[in-house]
Amino acid sequence: MPATRHAFFTSEFLAQLERLSLLSRRVFRGRVKGERRSLRRGHSVEFCDYRAYGVGDDLRYVDWNIYGRLDRLHVKLFVDEEDLCLHLIVDASTSMNFGSPTKLDAAVRIAAALGFVGLVNHERVGVGVLRNRVAEGWPPTRGRNQVTSLLDFLARVEPGGGTSLNEGLGNYAVRSRQAGLAVVISDLLDPGGYERGVRALLERRFDVHLVHVLTPEEMNPELAGDLRLVDSETGEMRELSMDGDAVRAYRERLRQFLERVETFCRTKEIGYHRLASDAPVEEFVLAQLRGRVLV
């Protein structure tokens, strides 16, 4: 585990994160009152508007002064508050232990930044760690005083096991007691695919964003000659000659793979964000995620 994970970020970057909050395209009603204003009308203490009385409305909210003047019943409307839960779902399979820094290092730092924003804004934040399934997690918790606990948990996440994104994401969707903003951070390198698992989140009414982390070597390989490649998760070996034709074939398959991911996300209205593992996470969070996951 890299020692730098313990520190995660500079105080200057954390100060920038403190000025941000989470953005969700959906409204979620939680089990407790939140501090996020909702477009819905509720019964908090802050007056918002009036509307005509309808059968079944609570008589406690009738404005009798208006009734005395107009001889018509109107009820008071108040600003409702929503309790947003941020679900950080991190792929920690063995394939994420590649690159320098590794894809997992980038993934946990992205999760740490988003989790910090959520906690300092009094949102609930939970973490799921994916391997063959949801192997471990940090249950949804709220409060600024939980930041250290979250960062300590993420610092201890180690890569291992195979990848089963469909099963892992499906299990997470079923086990979660409340939908919310789900940010899935993965390299998506699973022969079984990921689409069914993501659809399971959508069916449970999650607002889904996908952060796709790949290494520079995966995006632009510089291998040459006769090679023996070993799958880090299955141990399967393949021998090949990495000549110009092989490189071109790889790049074409990579292009098709990325195009399929982008098309899937676009048609399902999923936020899609791609990151090279060696790119500065701070710039990615403040530039690419700002205005999409963060405001």
Across 23-37, 149-163, 227-241, least confident range? 23-37
Given the candidates 3.10.20.30, 3.40.250.10, 3.40.50.410, 3.40.50.300, the CATH classification of the domain at 4-28+83-288 is: 3.40.50.410
Q: What pLDDT, on the 0 to 100 scale, is given for residue 39? A: 41
Kindly report, residue by residue over 262-277, the tens digit of the pLDDT: 999 999 999 999 999 9
Angle, CA of 141, 142 and 147, to the nearest 5°: 90
Q: What pLDDT, on the 0 to 100 scale, is given for residue 25? A: 76
pLDDT band at 49 (very low <50, low <70, confident <90, very high): low
Cα gap 112→151, rounded to integer Å = 6
Please state, rounded to an integer, the average pLDDT across all residues of the chain: 85
Cα gap 112→69, rounded to integer Å = 56
**Strand-pair category, 207-214 with 271-276:** parallel
Kindly report, residue by residue over 86-120, the tens digit of the pLDDT: 999 999 999 999 999 999 999 999 999 999 999 99
pTM, entire model = 0.81
Domain ranges of the chain: 4-28+83-288, 37-82
Kindly report, residue by residue over 195-248, the tens digit of the pLDDT: 999 999 999 999 999 999 999 999 998 877 777 877 776 777 888 787 888 889
More confident residue, 72 or 226: 72
Query: Does residue 4 have a pLDDT over 80?
Result: no
Q: Average pLDDT of 124-144?
A: 88
